[in-house]
């Protein structure tokens, strides 16, 4: 079961002026399942995104990049149950058919539509099921349907993922609301996940792409479940500009900082929810590395620990076989690392220092921490001031079972 994670109360997900969401059932993988989501954006909305770096990126990812470059996005269409990845030119043709159909419903150009897919790779996108469901999704459009959309984009997720914040900018209330899906095949770059965050803040077009990248770097690019980077990862930031405050044009301004803090908070909550809902997860772990020369090497070491199957299975067993953490630090690829200066804590328990087991460490103290549902591993490198934290989960028997039976 997910680790200390419950589906968000629909009332907690504030509507974002300028955004409406509609849900429908196409029966792509399971009859009757609500698996199609349409998101309508008000004219003038600004949209930016970051995507998977997997070279086998899905057809919808390719089209999203093309359509974002053209600008003026008016609608998003999301299907679950089929990834439309590893489908070649036919996959692109089917994704374009979907954009054409959505454009016809909204009276815009196909280039004004962003398509997203998640599900099984190497299978043709069933447009014969998707296209007939689109009018029903359009008829269902409501500003308050964030929770319904969070459920509709799930695949192996157990819990829907949504988060929301409100802040004041220029005397106006500004809303930030987001949803995401993902519990397996999660690992940057872009960490299978889809994330959609919208705000009614007014943001200058030139700031949108740097802003979405900066938000991703402290959230979705800091989570791993199994070390597999999906073919379909996409994180989209939408700013409708309907809050009524002066447009944010300066990344050094107080308004920009306040908005980014709210966006970060929503995105971090969604990213952590993915690790808490990792396939078969029983433990949620934070791997915090400090004292590095730069943030990149801190993340490199944190990821080496977080994605180690031996570390993750030890946590599932609540077994303080903590030499596995030291081994992962050692093979992370930092060639000039002085292991004699490193300290490692499990929770508040000092485990290792001076190149070996801490004199104060006891197996009983380590075992007590390992039984907790949420655990922090802290690693001090003593070679600088940089730091980074990565979130992950354990590997249980259910992870194997879920992925072995994914298509059945």
pTM above 0.85, yes or no: yes
pLDDT tens, 204-250?
Answer: 999 999 999 999 999 988 887 655 555 678 899 999 999 999 999 99
pLDDT tens, 119-139?
Answer: 888 899 999 999 999 999 999
Q: Is 192 a catalytic residue?
A: yes
Query: Is the same domain home to 144 and 289?
Result: no
Query: Is the same domain home to 249 and 291?
Result: no
As for how many domains the chain has, the answer is 2
Measure Cα distances from 363 to 41, 342, 368 in Å.
56, 20, 9
Q: What is the pLDDT of residue 190?
A: 41
Query: Is the same domain home to 323 and 233?
Result: no
Q: What is the pLDDT of residue 186?
A: 47
Q: Range of 76's domain?
A: 10-276
pLDDT tens, 57-109?
Answer: 889 999 999 999 988 999 999 999 999 999 999 999 999 999 999 999 999 99
Q: Is residue 2 part of a domain?
A: no
Query: Is the same domain home to 193 and 250?
Result: yes
Please, what is the average pLDDT of the chain? Answer: 91
Catalytic residue among 192, 229, 240, 389: 192
Q: Is residue 1 part of a domain?
A: no
Query: Is the same domain home to 351 and 263?
Result: no
- Boundary (domain end) residue, out of 276, 295, 314: 276
Q: What is the pLDDT of residue 191?
A: 41
Query: Is the same domain home to 211 and 308?
Result: no
Query: Is the same domain home to 239 and 374?
Result: no
Q: Is residue 3 part of a domain?
A: no
- Boundary (domain end) residue, out of 232, 250, 276: 276
Q: What is the pLDDT of residue 405?
A: 58
- Boundary (domain end) residue, out of 276, 298, 317: 276
Query: Is the same domain home to 109 and 234?
Result: yes
Query: Is the same domain home to 310 and 205?
Result: no
């Amino acid at each position: 079961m997910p680790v200390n994670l419950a589906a968000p109360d629909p009332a907690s997900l504030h509507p974002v002026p300028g955004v409406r969401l509609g849900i429908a059932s196409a029966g792509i993988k399971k009859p009757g399942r609500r698996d199609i989501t349409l998101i309508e954006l008000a004219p003038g909305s600004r949209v930016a995104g970051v995507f998977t770096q997997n070279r086998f990126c899905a057809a919808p990812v390719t089209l999203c990049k093309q359509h974002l470059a053209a600008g003026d996005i008016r609608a998003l269409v999301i299907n679950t149950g089929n990834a439309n990845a590893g489908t070649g030119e036919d996959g692109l043709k089917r994704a374009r058919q979907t954009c054409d159909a959505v454009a016809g419903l909204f009276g815009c150009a196909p280039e004004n539509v962003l398509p997203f897919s998640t599900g099984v790779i190497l299978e043709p996108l069933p447009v014969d099921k998707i296209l007939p469901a689109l009018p029903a999704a359009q008829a269902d459009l409501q500003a308050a349907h964030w929770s319904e959309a969070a459920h509709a984009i799930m695949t192996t997720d157990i819990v829907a993922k949504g988060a929301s914040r409100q802040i004041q900018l220029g005397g106006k209330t500004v809303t930030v609301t987001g949803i995401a899906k993902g519990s397996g095949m999660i690992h940057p770059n872009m960490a299978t996940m889809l994330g959609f965050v919208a705000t009614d803040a007014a943001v200058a077009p030139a700031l949108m792409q740097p802003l979405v990248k900066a938000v991703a770097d402290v959230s979705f690019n800091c989570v791993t479940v199994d070390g597999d980077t999906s073919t379909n990862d996409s994180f989209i930031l939408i700013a409708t500009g309907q809050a009524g405050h002066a447009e944010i044009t300066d990344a050094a301004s107080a308004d920009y900082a306040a908005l980014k803090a709210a966006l970060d908070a929503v995105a971090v909550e969604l990213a952590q929810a993915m690790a808490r809902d990792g396939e078969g997860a029983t433990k949620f772990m934070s791997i915090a590395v400090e004292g590095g020369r730069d943030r990149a090497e801190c993340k490199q070491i944190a990821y080496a620990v977080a994605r180690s199957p031996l570390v993750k299975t030890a946590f599932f067993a609540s077994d303080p076989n903590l030499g596995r953490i030291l081994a992962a630090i050692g093979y992370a690829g930092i060639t000039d690392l002085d292991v004699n200066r490193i300290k490692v804590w499990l929770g508040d328990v000092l485990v290792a220092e001076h190149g070996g087991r801490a004199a104060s460490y006891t197996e009983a103290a380590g075992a007590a921490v390992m039984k907790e549902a949420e655990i922090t591993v802290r690693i001090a490198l003593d070679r600088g001031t940089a730091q980074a934290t990565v979130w992950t989960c354990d590997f249980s028997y259910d992870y194997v079972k879920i992925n072995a039976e994914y298509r059945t």
